[in-house]
Structure 1
Amino acid sequence: MEWAWVTVGRRAIVLTVAGIVTSAGFAAARESDIRIVYGPPSDAAQQAMQRRLQDRKALEDIRDRLGDIRLPRVLTIKIADCHGEVDASYESADATVTICYEYLDYLQELARDLPPAALREGLTPESYLTGPFLEVVLHELAHALFDLKKIPILGREEDAADQVAAFTLLRLGSEQARRAIAAIAIMYASEAKAEAPTASDFANEHSLPAQRFYNLLCISYGADRKTFGDLVEKGYLPSDRAEQCVAEYQQVAYAFQQLIAPHLKGRRPTAAPQQR
């Protein structure tokens, strides 16, 4: 399939991003706070992708939903040629979130050949692509928020960014949340099966794909046992871990309300949402 800002129902993926960040308490941005860049492509495939992104005003739509945080410096969000590196990152030195053309191409490759688990979940190539894309955008924006608003983090920052991204995705309606979480979990599972971890993988600042898989399932199950209850029934989430997941979700929700919500315009810290 081509990268054409695939739809979820009738809404473009960028509008889904917009809806998610709005549900987390973000509102329209001042252009002076967030700068967008469509970096120069290196080949014909990237050129075509750049044109589609610009025609859809993809980054503009994201920027326009991120502004109820008044930032101490300009945040740049850009799509860039990363010279063959499949990556997405946040750089504190220049306050820049970078999504590589190569990463977008990697997501397209995932969606071209759906694994059996995705088919069992009823995912289409479009919905399978949507979940990982939303997760990487929200993950890198979490890094930017931690840095620019000096939000304290206890534990590894990569895990905290995963939690913020998952918590925000779970604020979608149950149907959309289920599709997005399923797609991300299947991606982690596929990566975990691709090759056995080496010693250097254990030293990485990111948790291993298998760990990210179980952490994501746990916070999802803890948030909504009605929507995600079958994760335990089908054996995806071990029952002994599942016993702790409501408390794990409540911990993430409380941290979000105490540490992040105060920086969102018109929001005040509240008690953690009730588990469903």
Structure 2
Amino acid sequence: MKLRLIIFLSVALGLVSGAFLYSLLSVKRHEKALAAARAEGRADAEKAMADELAALKPVVLKKVANAESKPDGTHFTYEYVKPHDPGLEPFYRLAHDGDLLHHLPEIQAIDGLLMLPKPIRFVMAECREPNAFYSPERGEVVMCYETMKVLLDRGRQLATDQDVADKGDAYAQRYLEANLRFILLHETGHALIDLLEMPITGREEDAVDQLATTLMQRFAGMNESSRQVSDNLRMASNWFLVRSTGQYNLDAYADEHALGEQRYFNLQCLIYGSNPARYVGIVTEGDLPEARAKTCPAEARRVSKSWLRLLLPHVAPKYEMTEEKANRLFEQRERERNRNAEVPYVR
């Protein structure tokens, strides 16, 4: 009896195990079949989509220009010509190795700002005499290495003769840079008058002195305070007195340039007139007579406004603005410069 029971239970257990195994194998076969069906269906769907896409004509998307983008102005070109005179080699190295022209803030501020009929080419070269000039035929503003040498020597002499804060080459280097900036902007003024056919009713030399002053006041480096800007301009005005003797012949009076003393006082007037309260020392120290100083605020405003109105029509579309907006930007720039110059830091 017990034996039959054991046999029965063994058979039943075998049947159950077989049924379970069959069920498990069936599930796996079903899953494989389902996966195969899905894969086949996906392949069919992908093939159908590919066939439809192949039947379509290719679509080329054209690059749409940004409606708000506007063209830049005419950019300047720059060249440093190696001198033949070994004595001028240090000035070539100073200009070339330091890429001097690309580090003059006023030149860089107007590079690409205006629409010109052709680029202005700035050249630093040997000229066999101290000089700086604009060549209309070549469209070049030329600064001579000989001028750099004379300016550096003059700066060293002033540092020795006068009681200046920066002694020796530190002051001389500042004097050199300040005058390079003014002289190059002066010659750039000649280039702009020529290329843009600007209407100038007075003496052109006086007009470009005014432009150079305006550009140095408006586009000085962002790390230069208003006081530093005025110091640079006063260094530039000192250069006007270098060849002045106080004794002139008819040729001097007939020259296209005003006398050095006149150019000096004209520049003092523009500096003082830009902010009489800040630069009252120019008058009290005797660098500008009181009689002339009275008219300087109006003169400085008139000069700045006149040059702004002459240049605005030629500003590139990318930068075009109203006179009011330009003045707001200049005021904001001056505030930022003064703030940057006064920010304390740990050395």
User: What is the TM-score when the length of structure 1 is the normalising length?
Assistant: 0.79
Partners of 2:165 and 2:175 in 1: how far apart? Answer: 10
The residue identity in structure 1 corresponding to 2:288 is L
Partners of 1:107 and 1:195 in 2: how far apart? Answer: 21
Partner of 1:199: 250
Partner of 1:214: 265
> 1:46 and 2:92 equivalent?
no
Q: Which runs of 5+ in 2 are unaligned?
A: 1-71, 332-347
Q: Determine if contact 1:29/1:64 at 8 Å carries over to the other structure.
A: no
What's the Cα RMSD here? Answer: 2.7
What's the CA shift for 1:261? 2.6
> 1:95 and 2:139 equivalent?
yes
> 1:113 and 2:157 equivalent?
yes
Q: Per-residue displacement from partner, 1:71-121 (whole Å, max 9, x unpaired)?
A: 2113211012112x2110001111110101111111111111116885357
Q: Determine if contact 2:152/2:175 at 8 Å carries over to the other structure.
A: no
CA separation of 1:117 and 1:214: change in aligned 2, threshold 3 A: farther
Q: Which structure shows the higher helix fraction? A: 2
The residue identity in structure 1 corresponding to 2:188 is L
What percent identity do the matched residue pairs reach? 29
The residue identity in structure 1 corresponding to 2:176 is L
Partner of 1:270: 323
Partners of 2:284 and 2:83 in 1: how far apart? Answer: 46
> 1:143 and 2:187 equivalent?
no
What's the CA shift for 1:209? 0.6
CA separation of 1:116 and 1:60: change in aligned 2, threshold 3 A: closer
The residue identity in structure 2 corresponding to 1:44 is P
Q: Per-residue displacement from partner, 1:97-154 (whole Å, max 9, x unpaired)?
A: 0101111111111111116885357682232222211110111111111111222111
Partner of 2:23: none
3-state SS of 1:119 partner: coil
Q: Determine if contact 1:77/1:96 at 8 Å carries over to the other structure.
A: yes
User: What is the TM-score when the length of structure 2 is the normalising length?
Assistant: 0.64
**What pairs with 1:24-39 in structure 2 (closer than 5 Å)?**
33-39=75-81
Partner of 1:189: 241
> 1:250 and 2:294 equivalent?
no
Q: Determine if contact 1:88/1:136 at 8 Å carries over to the other structure.
A: yes
> 1:81 and 2:126 equivalent?
yes
Partners of 1:60 and 1:134 in 2: how far apart? Answer: 12
Partner of 2:177: 130
Partners of 1:153 and 1:243 in 2: how far apart? Answer: 25
Partner of 2:53: none
CA separation of 1:174 and 1:34: change in aligned 2, threshold 3 A: closer
Partners of 1:116 and 1:60 in 2: how far apart? Answer: 30
Partner of 1:55: 97
What's the CA shift for 1:231? 1.2
The residue identity in structure 1 corresponding to 2:260 is P
CA separation of 1:156 and 1:38: change in aligned 2, threshold 3 A: same
Partners of 1:100 and 1:233 in 2: how far apart? Answer: 37
Partners of 2:160 and 2:204 in 1: how far apart? Answer: 32
Task: Please point out which of 237, 260, 267 is paired with 2:311.
Answer: 260
Partner of 2:232: 180
The residue identity in structure 1 corresponding to 2:314 is H
Partners of 2:176 and 2:162 in 1: how far apart? Answer: 11
Partners of 1:179 and 1:255 in 2: how far apart? Answer: 24
What's the CA shift for 1:195? 5.3
Q: Which runs of 5+ in 1 are unaligned?
A: 1-27
